[in-house]
Amino acid sequence: MIRREQCRSIPASGRICRARIVVSIPCLFVLVCLAGPVAADMLPDTARLTPSDWRERLREHTDDFATARLLHRDAIDALERDDPERARALLAEAVELDPRFDAPRRTRAAMELRSGRLSALAELHEAARDRVAGYRNQATSLANALLTFDVAIGILLVWVSVAFLLRYLPFVHHRLAQRVLGDGHRRRTARLLWPAVLAPMLAVASWGLIPWLALTIPLIWVHADRRPRAILSVLLGLLVIQALWPRPFAAVLAGTDPSSLPALVERAAYEPPTEMLRGQLRERLETHPRDADLLLAEGLLLARRGEFRESSDVLLDHLEHRPDDVTATNNLAANHFFLGDVDRAVAGFQRAAALDSLRSVPFYNLSQAYLHKLFLKEGGRSLEKAQRLGFAVTEQVERLPRGAVYFLRPSLSDTWRLAWNRPGDLDPFEALGARWWWLGVPAAHVGPWLVAILGLSVFLGLVVPRRRMVFECVNCGTLACRHCRGEHEGAVLCSGCGQTARRAKSEMVLSTLLRNRRRDAEAAYQRRMASLDSILPGAGSLADGGRRRGTWSAALMSASLTAIVLGGPPLTDPWQPTDPGIFGVARICGVVLLVLIVLLNTAARGAVRGRHLQPHPNSVVSLAGLIEGRAPQRERAVT
């Protein structure tokens, strides 16, 4: 209380100040009374809703996921009926209902582009990026990339093995003729043995891919030199690694398995919270009752269904296992908010914000709860903090219809953590083999088979070294076995060159004969390689020791064949299954690439300058008995 003496001593300015305060307080009261209802009307009316009201609204909201897809489907139908305006409207509605759904955005951008508006390119680019790297699409894209890669490697292995087999099969035929007929390679009768050489190949090819590789790769490995061995081992190694350590692949594929834990957690956060989805979560919880991630997912699912009290119970159960879980704490507080217990909601949001002071959503939720209680100062401070932390509505938050606060969804790191720790190792062959019989062996056995093939090849390479099997003529490069190889003055020659060298009695005749023979071999090689290239583009170069053009051609051929065989991504979203049909974009691209490779190979064929490769001169092989020369020979040719 101010004494009278003191009042007297108060200066005039102070008195004026006090008078102003006295006047302003009633005015402020009147203002609040008048503006309060208006402000309350401007605020979301969520505070007045009861939990049952929320449940009604949620029923409409949680169908947005499916409704967006239905609208997109209707838009496609409208487009087929040639009604673009209706399609545009439906697509816009679909995008509004589910902004994360990329298909309507792509369709809309494509429509705009067709009508000549290039500005739609930006939207198309964004939609395409979401399609590949969007949060929910990332796992599918990655899994598709890995599966396509494995299919391409498989096709490449077949292509390479066929090319190398064409190169070494004549030598196998020669050895068989040598063994059966005794020097039979000199006679045309040896042709009759070709069915005996080809029949086992065709038999195992009819079994499937793995038996084919099991027969051909060791056979090639024994006869081939360094470069073909390197190509085969790299390709086989890429598959074997996935068989020996499938965990990374299994982690990627877990996101595309709807029954897996990471997929269930994600579906609970995104897909319509149907009773069926809840049932699947319950089934999983019965077997893993104390799984914290499942509890968190069920808590969010129940909240999305409007069952806030049950959700709170589940989340409390979860918090017993993970007391410092920010997501669960935030979501529990949001449940309290929707149940009308704002004080507990504030406490919960405060705790969540304290647990992770760098996360913006708890601060935003806290600000909304404060504002709900008309704690304007604290609310403004929290809102400011949330904005400073970069608050934005992202894919990781779930906002119930016109709700003031947001639920937190599992983050990408959570999904990857769950996928990595998923029990069981699903390798790519199992993922592919369930649909494709042509692997030739049960899908679960592909890995051991591949390991065995690689191991057997390396073992045979050590036990039967190439230098004991194959002798190369230093003049023409022809492969010769130990029965028919010739020697002249210490040089290893094929039978033909050896015979020539023995016949010549003068140096001039010797050099002339050998030079002409080498020239003939070169011409024959060019002819054979050209014919092989015309049948299998690039295979001639590949058979010539895997030169760069052959390797590139083989890689591109396998890519085009993969596109033609698959016709699109192997895995599609169950909600958006796509049937590319026979003339899908991927198949057309594959055919175009195939034609391009054929044209490029035809153009490059004229410039081929290969080594002195030719079939065994006494063999009846005419297609690709191509035999490599030695490095010194190449050096000599250069000099």
Q: What residues from 548 to 607 belong to the interface with another protein (CB under 8 A)?
A: 571, 574-575, 577, 579
Q: Does position 508 bind another protein by CB under 8 A?
A: yes
Contacts of 321 (CB under 8 A, 6+ apart): 290, 292, 295
Question: CB 275 → another protein: shortest distance, Å?
Answer: 5
Question: CB 134 → another protein: shortest distance, Å?
Answer: 18
Q: What is the dihedral of CA 270, 69, 256, 317, to 10 degrees?
A: 20
- Give the phi and the psi of residue 613 in degrees, each rounded to 5: -115, 140
The residue (of 204 and 480) whose beta carbon lies closer to another protein is 204
Question: CB 202 → another protein: shortest distance, Å?
Answer: 6
Distance of alpha carbon 232 from alpha carbon 227, whole angstroms: 9
Q: Does position 37 bind another protein by CB under 8 A?
A: no
Among positions 207, 375, 420, 552, the unique one binding another protein when judged by CB under 8 A: 207
Question: CB 434 → another protein: shortest distance, Å?
Answer: 4
Residue by residue, DSSP assigns 8-31 as HHS-HHHHHHHHHHHHHHHHHHHH
Contacts of 73 (CB under 8 A, 6+ apart): none
The residue (of 214 and 326) whose beta carbon lies closer to another protein is 214
Residue by residue, DSSP assigns 560-616 as HHHHHHH-S-S---TTS-----TT-HHHHHHHHHHHHHHHHHHHHHTT----S----
Q: Does position 170 bind another protein by CB under 8 A?
A: no
Instruction: Choose the binding region for another protein from 125-133, 383-391, 484-492, 505-513 (rule: CB under 8 A).
Output: 505-513
Q: Does position 172 bind another protein by CB under 8 A?
A: no
User: How many residues are given for the chain?
Assistant: 639
In the chain, the amino acid numbered 165 is L
Question: Looking only at residues 54 through 73 of this chain, which bind another protein when binding is defined by CB under 8 A?
Answer: 63, 66-67, 69-70, 73
Among positions 513, 530, 555, 608, the unique one binding another protein when judged by CB under 8 A: 513
Contacts of 499 (CB under 8 A, 6+ apart): 486
Question: CB 442 → another protein: shortest distance, Å?
Answer: 2
Count of positions on this chain that bind another protein (CB under 8 A): 71
Q: List, in sequence order, the alpha helices (H) in 81-208.
A: 84-97, 102-114, 120-133, 137-181, 194-207
Among positions 42, 437, 582, 609, the unique one binding another protein when judged by CB under 8 A: 437
Q: Does position 26 bind another protein by CB under 8 A?
A: no
Q: Which of 210, 207, 206, 180 is nearest to 194 (CA)?
A: 180
Residue by residue, DSSP assigns 345-378 as HHHHHHHHHHH-TT-HHHHHHHHHHHHHTT-HHH
Q: Does position 285 bind another protein by CB under 8 A?
A: no
Helix (H) or strand (E) holding 492: strand 491-493
Question: Looking only at residues 316 through 375 of this chain, which bind another protein when binding is defined by CB under 8 A?
Answer: none
Please tell me what DSSP assigns to residue 45. G
Q: Does position 539 bind another protein by CB under 8 A?
A: no
The residue (of 204 and 404) whose beta carbon lies closer to another protein is 204
Q: Do residues 300 and 311 lie in contact, with contact meaning Cβ atoms separated by under 8 Å? A: yes
Q: Does position 441 bind another protein by CB under 8 A?
A: yes
Among positions 193, 222, 501, 532, the unique one binding another protein when judged by CB under 8 A: 193
Q: How many CB atoms lie within 10 A of CB 148?
A: 19
The residue (of 214 and 346) whose beta carbon lies closer to another protein is 214
Distance of alpha carbon 86 from alpha carbon 125, whole angstroms: 24
The residue (of 98 and 325) whose beta carbon lies closer to another protein is 98
Question: CB 551 → another protein: shortest distance, Å?
Answer: 31
Instruction: Choose the binding region for another protein from 19-27, 203-211, 284-292, 303-311 (rule: CB under 8 A).
Output: 203-211
The residue (of 205 and 339) whose beta carbon lies closer to another protein is 205
Among positions 51, 99, 248, 272, the unique one binding another protein when judged by CB under 8 A: 272
Helix (H) or strand (E) holding 408: strand 406-408
Instruction: Choose the binding region for another protein from 13-21, 320-328, 440-448, 461-469 (rule: CB under 8 A).
Output: 440-448
Question: CB 496 → another protein: shortest distance, Å?
Answer: 10
Please tell me what DSSP assigns to residue 630. -
Question: CB 181 → another protein: shortest distance, Å?
Answer: 5
Instruction: Choose the binding region for another protein from 17-25, 149-157, 270-278, 299-307 (rule: CB under 8 A).
Output: 270-278
Distance of alpha carbon 172 from alpha carbon 177, whole angstroms: 9
- Give the phi and the psi of residue 15 in degrees, each rounded to 5: -65, -40
- Give Dmax over CA atoms of the chain in angstroms: 146
The residue (of 94 and 536) whose beta carbon lies closer to another protein is 94
Q: Which of 180, 213, 210, 218 is nearest to 197 (CA)?
A: 180
Among positions 257, 293, 298, 307, the unique one binding another protein when judged by CB under 8 A: 257
Q: Does position 380 bind another protein by CB under 8 A?
A: no
